[in-house]
Structure 1
Amino acid sequence: MEGVPLEGGNSNAPVRFGDRVHRVAGPWTPTVHAYLRHLRSHGVDLVPEPFGFDEQGREVLAFLPGAVPAYPLPEPVWSDAFLAQAAAVLRRLHDASVGFAPDDAVWQQPVREPVEVIAVNDFAPHNLVLDRDAITGVIDLDQAAPGPRVRDLAHLAYRLVPLTAPGNEDGRPTPIQERGRRLRLLAGAYGDVEPGAIAGAVGPLLDDLAEHAAARGLPDHAALYVGDAVHHRAALDAVLHGVG
């Protein structure tokens, strides 16, 4: 069977063969597969089922049918209902991951304190599979690693509140008061977290993303993250207090 290359996937070079996807693996892949099996055994069937490795050493995962949003994001992804749904899905992933701590774990991302859950570390629209406006899958979990809940919430808020700078076309022009309202909506939909904690984690997250992009030789991406971080820190108090 001839494989069909899939868009996205960055350096993973995903290729679809029927109902399976073959992707470039790393030292962390066995741990991620164990994590996926753990999630699925705890009722989270939104993540792909892993099937080990092919003869070329690539990981093999179940193909999740549906549409993955591309940037600029389509209008339905900006709805309040979608934001609340995404927060609820993230809460399911986090809660199901509690207690997963294999002794021989190898992670692509560093373990970050406080360790509360297995953080996805890239929970964003570009890794969600949709059936119209319903989230039916979560893909590309190979950056997952133990860490705090709020880091994933910060990433989701950055992309979907949004907390981007005006020059970043991946976001959309959003008044300060609306950003504050949507940040509170996200926090409420996830539960047990203050909007200020999420907003406070965005700056450090963007610093990490900028550093990672620069290390990968992506200066334009790094510059966008730096600009977003500067803008976010300047507007943080206004967003939290709904002024402007």
Structure 2
Amino acid sequence: MGRHEVQPDEQPLTGGNVSVGVVRVGDTVRRPAGPWTPAVHALLGHLHAVGFRGAPRAHGLDERGREVLDFVPGEMVWPFGFAQVEPHERLAGLARLVRELHDAVKDFTPPPDARWQVLIPAEGEAGEDEIIVHHDLAPWNLVAGEGGRFAFIDWDTAGPGSRLWDVAYALHGFVPLMAHPDWRRDDADAGERLRVFADAYGLDEAERRRLVPLLGRRTRSMHDFLRDQAGRGVQPWARLWAEGHGDAWRGDAEYIEEREAHWERALLGG
């Protein structure tokens, strides 16, 4: 049996950039496991135990060695469900969910043998702010369910990071801070959405000042990661680079960096 061979009772799930071998079986999702899976499952178990409901529960491994997670019903926000986070009140609700996540992991103690798949470490943001974060809070990993509830999926790259590193990445996707004409907003609208998210998350003035330069740095880190991995021929990143994802991240980074003064005014006033 091939590593990713689909059985009759399995429904392949697509939509992400790294979804090979991901299937639905009844009310569960089966995904290829890795050395990081036990640590991720410990994290998801902690989140469920403390009452955070914005993530699936983990149920160990199946007979084929795949991780088993709850299937999260609802609509994927990216790319056709972005209207789910368009209203400011919905964007604010999402920001509060991110804050709830970050608060929920404060008391999480990783297993002593934890191995994490952190693809892009938090650049210069470790230390007292370090917690275990998702590292990929984006519309392509967000499910909008019944009753206005959101849930984040795809936790494989969770690991040590910082609140602001996670928030900067989330803002790129949910404002969105994108240069492509299909997604680009005028500066006033983008700035207002930036402020709505920051207010709802509860960033103080010092955190907002630290966040501003991170917006561009976090976005550019995605371009640099894809470039470096493509240079080594590592999949699926080499494929994504060839498809133009690196160019998109570079364009977004340039768009953000050119407007850094505008983002600072939007977040701090003046």
1:181 is the counterpart of 2:225: no
1:106 aligned to which of 96, 100, 115: 115
Residue pairs, 1:39-188, within 5 angstroms: 39-71=47-79, 73-102=81-110, 103-109=112-118, 112=122, 113-114=126-127, 115-131=129-145, 134-165=148-179, 167=180, 169=182, 171=183, 173-188=184-199
Partner of 1:202: 215
RMSD: 2.1
Counterpart amino acid of 1:104? D
Q: Distance in 2 between matches of 1:31 and 1:67?
A: 27
Counterpart amino acid of 2:25? F
> Greater shift after overlay, 204-213 or 106-115?
106-115
* TM-score, normalising length: structure 2: 0.82
Structure 1 segments of 4+ aligned residues over 6 angstroms from their partners: none
Q: Distance in 2 between matches of 1:164 and 1:182?
A: 13
Partner of 2:253: 229
- SS of the residue aligned with 1:22? strand
Q: Distance in 1 between matches of 2:93 and 2:138?
A: 12
Do 2:77 and 2:84's aligned partners in 1 also have CA atoms closer than 8 Å? no
* TM-score, normalising length: structure 1: 0.90
Q: Distance in 2 between matches of 1:49 and 1:105?
A: 18
Partner of 2:264: 240
1:19 is the counterpart of 2:27: yes
Do 1:68 and 1:130's aligned partners in 2 also have CA atoms closer than 8 Å? yes
- SS of the residue aligned with 1:45? coil
Q: Distance in 2 between matches of 1:160 and 1:18?
A: 30
Summarize the Cα distance change of 1:229–1:197 in structure 2 as closer, same or farther, 3 Å threshold: same
Summarize the Cα distance change of 1:150–1:159 in structure 2 as closer, same or farther, 3 Å threshold: same
Do 1:124 and 1:159's aligned partners in 2 also have CA atoms closer than 8 Å? yes
Q: Distance in 1 between matches of 2:56 and 2:198?
A: 26
Q: Which runs of 5+ in 1 are unaligned?
A: none
> Identity, % of aligned pairs?
36
1:32 is the counterpart of 2:45: no
Q: Which runs of 5+ in 2 are unaligned?
A: 1-7, 230-236
> Greater shift after overlay, 192-201 or 38-47?
192-201
Deviation at 1:174, TM superposition (A): 1.8
Q: Distance in 2 between matches of 1:231 and 1:145?
A: 28
